[in-house]
Amino acid sequence: MSFKIEIFSQGEELVTGQITDTNATWLSEKLIQMGFTVTRHTTVGDKLEDLVGLLREIAERADCCICTGGLGPTVDDLTAEAVAKAFAKPLEFDPVAYQQMAEYFRQRGRTMPESNRKQAMLPKDSIRLDNEWGTAPGFALKSGQCQFAFVPGVPSEMKQMFREKITPLVLTPFKTQPWKLRTIKTIGLGESDIQACLDTLVFPGAVQLGFRAGSGEVQTKLLFPPDFPETEMNNFTHAVAKQIGDPVFAIDRQDKQKRSIASVLGEVLHNQQHTLCILETISQGLMAAKCLGMESLSESMFAASSEQICTKLNIEAQEDLLVTASEIAEVYRAECGTDYALVQLCNKEAVDSADQKQSVQLYNALATSTDTVTQLNRVSGTIKRKQNQAALLGLDFLRRYLQNNIKGS
């Protein structure tokens, strides 16, 4: 049986665009993995009547609803009051909640303001959800067919309360069967390009396909029904990855640690006992920063221009930056004594341009003990986006070389 669940976010700062509702996104992903059907995301500002109306609507159409926000001590925090009015459950003082809040302040050497007493006023017959990570307690209650859970909107508190309070105390009675998620991660292809790659592939009818474009990578999500055979699921996932090709750098399972391009690289280099040095320009150390903790990264350096690098390494700059990048990679690898040297150069004039629409040409070179390979890329957007894209494309250049040239990687 599939249970319908809604996510209800409260706060004027959400509807006015001052902050992004990351809570709803995070909750949806978790709830779908648990086997719920998420039917709606709804956001309402600090208007009591709007909150009351929506709560009554949800009580009639959903099996469960998780509400975030509006549990603070100020006049614009109206969730508890709205619940009391919507379901005729007057607010009652909870001395345990009040004592927990007072202790929270005491441990931090602060006096609790009188306004915080409001947070200890909970709807009659509700179940208190203790907040061990902040001041505002949550609460749960049932109205009509719908089981409600209310938690603070602070993301760190919300996530902890979902794991420690909502899941065991509120969601357990729902006998859901978790769907199975496989996430194929790629760099260098857009969503429409990936969709085109998959147009000729026949999908099993029950499998749901989705895409999520993040900061520099695209995730192709395959959602399988609970009873989908494991072997068939793995075979189909790898068939999709094969169809997409070289841009795939990882396949994540929901029950395993999520992998980044740097962690994939780290695994390959560690398994081969190979070392790496990185030299970068436009990304200004971001490429090396993404490899933080990688044992195989021996040295890194960044400079504002290829001219500075050539001067430092005593190399004569060539008119062709790709040739220059190759020579720099060879010299830098020899100087560092590593198995690989990854070098990223760019046209400094384009970086310095005030026109953010102007794209930047990247000149990547990878020197090994036997050869040197190069790659051209182009990045665009804000300088922050260009830097992140440049770093990811450089690391992916190395990843593709290693996975295509090293046996067993």
Whole-number pLDDT of residue 67: 97
Inter-residue contact 35 to 2 (CB < 8 Å):
yes
Tokens of residue 118, six digits: 């409001």
Phi, psi of 359 (to 5 degrees): -80, 165
Whole-number pLDDT of residue 409: 43
Domain 4-171 is found in CATH 3.40.980.10? yes
Laid out side by side, the sheet with 146-151 consists of 37-44, 4-10, 64-68, 146-151, 138-143, 127-129
Tokens of residue 324, six digits: 């220059």
Cα 42 from Cα 358, distance rounded (Å) = 39
Cα 247 from Cα 234, distance rounded (Å) = 19
Whole-number pLDDT of residue 355: 61
Cα 374 from Cα 390, distance rounded (Å) = 14
Query: Amino acid identity of 58?
Result: I
Whole-number pLDDT of residue 408: 45
Q: Which residue has the tokens 């926000």?
A: 69
Helices (H) and strands (E) in the chain, counts: 14, 17
Whole-number pLDDT of residue 382: 86
Whole-number pLDDT of residue 358: 80
Laid out side by side, the sheet with 208-213 consists of 208-213, 218-224, 180-186, 248-253
Is 139 in a helix, a strand, or coil?
Answer: strand
Whole-number pLDDT of residue 29: 86
Whole-number pLDDT of residue 63: 96
Is 212 in a helix, a strand, or coil?
Answer: strand
- CATH architecture of the domain with residue range 262-405: Alpha-Beta Complex (3.90)
Give the burial string for 11-43 (b: 16+ CB within 10 Å, else e).
beebbeeeeebebbebbbebbbbbbbebebeeb
pLDDT digits (tens, 9 = 90+) for 276-299: 999 999 999 999 999 999 999 999
Q: Indicate the helix (H) or strand (E) that contains 217.
A: none
Looking only at the bridges linking them, the beta strands covering 4-10 and 64-68 are parallel
Inter-residue contact 139 to 55 (CB < 8 Å):
no
Per-residue pLDDT of the chain (409 residues; tens, 9 = 90+): 679 999 999 999 999 999 999 999 999 989 988 889 999 999 999 999 999 999 999 999 999 999 999 999 999 899 999 999 999 999 999 999 999 999 999 999 999 999 999 999 999 999 999 999 998 999 999 998 899 999 999 999 999 999 999 999 999 889 888 888 999 999 988 999 999 999 999 999 889 899 988 878 999 999 998 889 999 999 999 999 999 999 999 999 877 788 999 999 999 999 999 999 999 999 999 999 999 999 999 999 999 888 889 999 999 888 899 999 999 999 999 999 999 999 999 986 666 665 667 889 999 999 999 999 999 999 988 889 899 999 999 999 999 999 888 654 4
Whole-number pLDDT of residue 1: 63
Q: Specify which residues 51 forms β-bridges with.
A: none
Whole-number pLDDT of residue 195: 94
**Contacts for 198-201: CB closer than 8 Å, 24+ residues apart:** 198/240, 198/243, 198/244, 200/243, 201/239, 201/240, 201/243
Whole-number pLDDT of residue 34: 87
CATH for 180-257?
3.30.70.2860
The neighbour count for residue 183, using CB atoms within 10 Å, is 19
Supply the pTM of this predicted model.
0.74
180-257 matches 4-171 in CATH topology: no
In the chain, what are the domain boundaries?
Answer: 4-171, 180-257, 262-405
Tokens of residue 362, six digits: 């990247």
Cα 232 from Cα 225, distance rounded (Å) = 12
